[in-house]
Amino acid sequence: MLLTEGSSTKNQHTFLKYQQHRLIHIFDLFSEGVFHMGVDGSMTVYNPQFYDQFGFYHSTISYQDWLSIVHPIDRTKLEQRVKQHLEQESRVTTEYRVKRKNGQYCWILGTAVTKTDQGERFMVGSHRDISDQKKLNSFLHQAAFYDSASGMANTTKLLRDINDIKCHATSPQATLIYIQVEDIKSYLNHYGSDVIQHILHHMNRALSTLMHYDATLYRVRTDDFAILLRSSKNQTQLQALCHTILERYAQSAQEQGHLLGDKMNIGVYPNFSLEHDAAQILNIASRTCQYAEEKSDSRIEIYSGQTQQAVDRFFYIERGLKEALFQHSLSVKFQPIIEAKTGKVASFEALVRWRSPAFGEIYPDEFIPLAEKKGLITELGYQVFEQACRFISQYHAVHGVSTRININVSVLQLLNSNFPVNIKMMADAAGVAPSLIVLELTETVILDGNRHAIRQLNTLNEMGFQLSLDDFGAGLSSIYSFFDLPLDQIKIDRTMALKTLINPVSEQYLSFIIQLCHSKGMAVVIEGIENANMQQAFETMGVDYLQGYWFAKPLSFVTASRYTLLGILNRENNAVV
């Protein structure tokens, strides 16, 4: 009986050993390696095919043998993880590089768990080759954070890096420099993508000076680049750095004989605020760069002090103009134009004004060019025209007499095919005769020689509107060129008028123009009259109309409605606006 039981037990052990041997071969079906490791560092590995690639041909190796082929950079980290894991019974995963027997490294994902059985502590786990996944992740990371054409970090990476700085910084120390190369997009259209390679070459040479800085270069857009400086620099240092970049860029372009894209503008946001989000920080640097392009002779602007105020004001105007037009919050003031011979009010010039709660008075030379650039000038012009017509009606109601109104018209308004018909309808709706409306045009109409604009002028003249050439003498127009236009009036530029008071030749020239205009049936207006001497001098020359602060500043709607001959007889009251 005992022999029988012993034989049975032996047979069971033999069967189990047989089954275990068969089960081990199942691991050969998998692409992963499986291991068992004791606390003494002895490892039993399964799936020989997996471990053969690392030069292990036996099922038993030591932990130190495995560590010896781990990448030196990853080795310490793996040792710390294994030591910590042997003390805990939890699942852990670790990614690290291991050298194959051919000398190349592959990425391994190690997954293991520590167990205790009959007082014996051991670790079991698996090794999986994740090199392809790592390559894919690297590709996706490159595509997400780097520009494919230049290899530079892109906007997404810049925003991420700014956020990283914000998370770890305790005070503002980093600086963002924004660089824009001029007219690259137009060059691309004409000369193709080779231009970009030239630009990148010059840019890399220009930024070689950054080798001594903790800085990263980014390509934000086709023609825009950014530099993130992680250390604090004062304004003198930043100015010097930016000048060096400009000089080296221009020098590189000249040396290579490239005249395309040889100019750049730079905006700097120094020690940027940690309260702004990354997009705001980039936006401020970009705006400062744009301000440098449009307003700065040096092509470099640093967002600080007066420049910060100027940049904020500039972009408030850019953002706020559309809303101001939508809300009808722009106002119109009216400056009298006086008949020189009688001193009576002959007309008023409608002057648009914009007062901002944040920035106070915003002047026309700040927002009119922007309105033209942004396509808002037509709507702005119609709003001014409407208020001007309303003023004429009000003036007639108060005084029982009609007065004319001078309204500035942009060439862009004139090029709108519907412009003549639209303003005629507006004048008719207000009960104002077109003959009471003087449309003031700039010399651009003459210089451009636009046939459509000239046809529009003829149409307006036929409708009964009066036409005036504004700021004559400020540009390059010939004194004869405007006689081909249906003009009723010209307004002499203030600078030209002032010269006639101190320069006899200029006086003779103006007298000649006045006589020539009169011979053609045109009236002459002088702007900028500031004192009695100027009034007397131009009256003597035979000027028809006078305008300026000597008679009145631009007046509010209500004040201008009450303004008559009595207004100019008591000039002490002219401060009321």
More confident residue, 267 or 139: 267
Residue 446 confidence (pLDDT): 62
pLDDT > 70? residue 12:
no
* Mean pLDDT to the nearest integer, 331-354: 94
pLDDT > 50? residue 15:
no
Fold of 146-318: Alpha-Beta Plaits (3.30.70)
* Domain range summary for the chain, segments of one domain joined by +: 32-134, 146-318, 329-565
Give tens-digit pLDDT for 365-394.
999 999 998 999 999 999 999 999 999 999
Sheet holding 300-302: strands in order across? Answer: 215-219, 224-229, 175-181, 264-269, 300-302
Residue 386 confidence (pLDDT): 97
Which superfamily is assigned to 329-565 in CATH?
EAL domain (3.20.20.450)
Give tens-digit pLDDT for 51-84.
999 999 888 999 999 999 999 999 988 888 888 7
Fold of 32-134: Beta-Lactamase (3.30.450)
Q: How far from 151 is each of 133, 142, 148, 219, CA to CA, in Å?
A: 22, 9, 5, 9
* Mean pLDDT to the nearest integer, 139-147: 74
pLDDT > 60? residue 447:
no
Share of the chain above pLDDT 90, in %: 48
Give tens-digit pLDDT for 496-512.
889 999 999 999 999 99
Kindly indicate the confidence band of residue 27, based on its pLDDT and cuts at 50, 70 and 90. Answer: low
Kindly indicate the confidence band of residue 567, based on its pLDDT and cuts at 50, 70 and 90. Answer: very low
* Mean pLDDT to the nearest integer, 237-242: 90
Residue 572 confidence (pLDDT): 43
Give tens-digit pLDDT for 457-496.
999 999 999 999 988 876 555 565 677 788 999 999 888 8
Residue 2 confidence (pLDDT): 43
Show the CA angle centred on residue 419, arms to residues 414 and 424, nearest 5°: 125
pLDDT > 60? residue 551:
yes
Of 77-91, 295-309, 405-419, 547-561, the one with minimum mean pLDDT is 77-91
For the stretch 288-326, what's the b/e string if a residue is b when 16 or more beta carbons lie within 10 angstroms of its beta carbon? Answer: bbbbbbeebeebbbbbbeebeebbbbbbebeebbeebbe
DSSP strand pairing (404-408 vs 264-269): unpaired
Share of the chain above pLDDT 70, in %: 85
**Rounded to an integer, what distance in angstroms lies between the CA atom of residue 265 and that of residue 408?**
34
Residue 475 confidence (pLDDT): 56
Compute the mean pLDDT over every residue in the chain, rounded to the nearest whole number.
84
Q: How far from 183 is each of 207, 222, 371, CA to CA, in Å?
A: 20, 10, 22
